[in-house]
Amino acid sequence: MNMYIEALNIKEKNRKRFEKIVSWTALVVVIIFMIFFIGCGGGGNSEPIITDPTPPVPVIEDNDNETETGPIKFIVNNGGMKFFDGDNLWQWKTGVIKKAGSQLYSCDDILYSLDEYGETVQSWNLITTPDVIRVNGTDKWIIKNIDPETAYAAGALYKDYTQIYLNSDIYGDHWSTRQYKAVDMQILNNNVFIKDDIGNWHAITSEHENIRHVNDEFILHDFDSSTKRAKFNDIQVSWSTNYFNNATQWIKADGIWYNERGYTWDGATLTENGTSMSEWNNDPQGTGYTEAPVLIAAGSHYENSEDVIYFIECNSGWLIKYISSIDNYELSVRLYNGDGSRETGLLYKDVLKPIIIENHLYFIMGETYKHDFITGLTAHFASGVNRVLKY
Q: Is 372 strand, coil or helix? A: strand
On the CB side of 64, CA atoms within 13 Å amount to: 11
Structural domain count, the chain: 1
Q: Distance of CA 229 to CAs 129, 199, 224, 245, Å?
A: 40, 20, 5, 10
Antiparallel, parallel or unpaired: β 161-166 and 139-146 = antiparallel
Does residue 193 form part of some domain? yes
Does residue 160 form part of some domain? yes
247: Cα separation from own chain's centroid? 16
Does residue 120 form part of some domain? yes
Domain that holds residue 152: 95-212
Burial class (CB in 10 A: 0-12, 13-18, 19+), 221: buried
Does residue 104 form part of some domain? yes
Does residue 162 form part of some domain? yes
Does residue 381 form part of some domain? no
Q: Is 161 strand, coil or helix? A: strand
CATH number at residue 148: 2.40.128
Beta-ladder partners of 348: none
DSSP 277-315: GGGGTT--TTSS--SPP-EEEEEEEEETTEEEEEEEETT
Beta-ladder partners of 389: 75
Does residue 179 form part of some domain? yes
pLDDT in tens, the chain (391 residues): 433 334 334 444 444 454 444 444 444 444 444 443 344 444 456 899 999 999 999 888 765 566 788 999 999 887 789 999 999 899 999 999 999 999 999 999 999 999 999 999 999 999 999 999 999 999 999 999 999 999 999 999 999 999 999 999 999 999 999 999 999 999 999 999 999 999 999 999 999 999 999 999 999 999 999 999 999 999 999 999 999 998 989 999 999 999 999 999 999 999 999 999 999 998 999 999 999 999 999 999 999 999 999 999 999 999 999 999 999 999 999 999 999 999 999 999 999 999 999 999 999 999 999 999 999 999 999 988 889 999 9
Does residue 172 form part of some domain? yes
pTM to 2 decimal places: 0.85
